[in-house]
């Protein structure tokens, strides 16, 4: 796939090129490799400083794998990840650890990785100690300041995770991520489990912090209304690949790829006068397994607009201003020259 050419700033904070991650499927006593899961299959994107890139797609599309690859929590099969001018995939562990300060992640359940017997002080100061930024009283002071910044109280430091509601827990997760002064925060379904009233509070907090600290976000979520609200640009992922990319409002208002059109049609609305979604969605059936992706365009078995080239030819990416789309409907003229 060709590079996504646009970006908010001339020098992007993060630049990912042709990223691939295949997981082997093993069988039997000898762990023979019998196949592979194409979790991420050649994605390219950039995030500028202070920018938010939304990543949407259904379960199994590879969104979370992209997040883990960017943080080098997983090793890519191939491809490059440039962060602040450094190639992450070639770094030694010590150098990688230094760079990781600038890259943080928040998850759907912020305490899933924490010992329930740790106090909030321990939870929040752990990254400070791991990165040898500060210890003891200094670390506690930083933690107290950050808790207050995210809308909690310094007195919460001596409480335990179970004493907090979902929204408060996510605030603690954000405070913990901010301890190392990151430049990029990956939000992997970070607001998805929250009640709507609380979800709005956390989204507002993320926007405030972005304005104050110049943070860039890679924002992964399945709720398109939420992604549109927070993102400058959106990438739509289907079975390990990007099918469409562009400015958030334009992309959802005028989706070009039939899959994006289905997703946009699936956006829930509390307006009782709007026709129900099932009258608008065109995608048929369910996504196939990423261990056996369809030939040609991966969306073709579900696509209402599929025609002959879709079943056997890979669609090339066409660019229209700030937008790109990978669909034979848009590159019918170019197919012959590219394939």
Partner 1 sequence: MWPNAEHEQTVPLLRVADLRVEFDTARGTVEAVNDIGFEVSAEQTVAIVGESGSGKSVTALAVLQLLDGGRIANGQIVWDGQDLSAVDKSRMRGIRGEDIAMIFQDPMTSLDPLYSIGDQIVEAIRLHRKISKTEARDRAVELLGQVGIPDARTRLRAYPHELSGGQRQRVMIAIALACAPRLLIADEPTTALDVTIEAQVLELIRDLQRQYQMALVLVTHDMGVVAEMADWVVVCYAGQVVEQGPAGKLLTDPQHPYTEALLTAIPTPETDKSQPLGAIGGAVPALHEMPPGCRFQPRCRHAWQDCTQPPPVVRLDGGRSSRCWLRAPAPTESRRAEPEQELA
Q: Which residues bind partner 1 (CB under 8 A)?
A: 58-59, 165-168, 195-201, 203-204, 207-208, 222, 224-226, 228-229, 248-249, 252-253, 262-263, 266-274, 276-278, 281, 283, 286-287
By C-beta, is 156 or 331 nearer to partner 1? 156
Residue 211: CB minimum distance to partner 1, A: 11
By C-beta, is 10 or 272 nearer to partner 1? 272
Are 328 and 311 a contacting pair, CB within 8 Å? no
3-state secondary structure 12-35: CCEEEEEEEEEEEEEECCCCEEEE
3-state secondary structure of 145: helix
> Helix 166-178 and helix 120-130: axis angle, to 10°?
20
By C-beta, is 95 or 208 nearer to partner 1? 208
Residue 294: CB minimum distance to partner 1, A: 16
The CB density around residue 195, as the number of other CB atoms within 10 Å, is: 11
Residue 43: CB minimum distance to partner 1, A: 19
The separation between CA 290 and the C-alpha centre of its own chain, rounded to angstroms, equals 18
Residue 2: CB minimum distance to partner 1, A: 27
Residue 289: CB minimum distance to partner 1, A: 9
The radius of gyration computed from the CA coordinates of the chain, to the nearest angstrom, equals 21
By C-beta, is 16 or 174 nearer to partner 1? 174
By C-beta, is 83 or 242 nearer to partner 1? 242
Torsion of CA 260, 225, 250, 335, to 10 degrees: -10
Are 100 and 71 a contacting pair, CB within 8 Å? yes
């Amino acid at each position: 796939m060709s590079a996504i050419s646009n970006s908010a700033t001339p020098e992007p904070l993060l630049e990912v090129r042709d990223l691939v991650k295949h997981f082997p499927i093993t069988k039997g006593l000898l762990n023979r490799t019998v196949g592979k899961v194409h979790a991420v299959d050649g994605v390219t994107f950039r995030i500028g400083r202070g920018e938010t890139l939304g990543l949407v797609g259904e379960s199994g599309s590879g969104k979370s794998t992209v997040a883990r690859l960017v943080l080098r929590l997983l090793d890519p099969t191939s491809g490059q990840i440039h962060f602040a001018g450094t190639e992450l995939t070639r770094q030694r562990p010590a150098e990688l650890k230094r760079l990781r300060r600038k890259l943080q992640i928040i998850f759907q359940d912020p305490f899933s990785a924490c010992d329930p017997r740790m106090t909030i002080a321990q939870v929040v100061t752990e990254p400070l100690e791991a990165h040898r930024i500060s210890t003891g009283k200094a670390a506690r002071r930083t933690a107290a300041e950050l808790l207050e910044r995210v809308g909690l109280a310094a007195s919460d430091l001596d409480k335990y995770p179970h004493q907090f509601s979902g929204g408060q827990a996510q605030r603690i997760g954000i405070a913990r991520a901010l301890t190392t002064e990151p430049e990029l925060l990956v939000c992997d379904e970070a607001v998805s489990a929250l009640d709507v009233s609380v979800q709005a509070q956390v989204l507002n907090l993320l926007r405030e912090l972005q304005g104050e600290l110049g943070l860039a976000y890679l924002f992964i979520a399945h709720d398109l209304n939420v992604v549109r609200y927070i993102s400058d640009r959106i990438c739509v992922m289907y079975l390990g690949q990007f099918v469409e990319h562009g400015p958030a409002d334009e992309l959802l208002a005028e989706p070009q790829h039939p899959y994006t059109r289905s997703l946009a049609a699936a956006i829930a609305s509390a307006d009782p006068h709007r026709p129900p979604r099932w009258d608008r969605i065109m995608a048929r059936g369910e996504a196939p397994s990423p261990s056996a992706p369809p030939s040609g365009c991966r969306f073709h078995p579900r696509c209402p607009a599929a025609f002959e080239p879709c079943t056997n030819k890979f669609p090339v990416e066409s660019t229209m201003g700030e937008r790109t789309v990978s669909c034979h409907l848009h590159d019918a003229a170019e197919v012959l020259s590219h394939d």
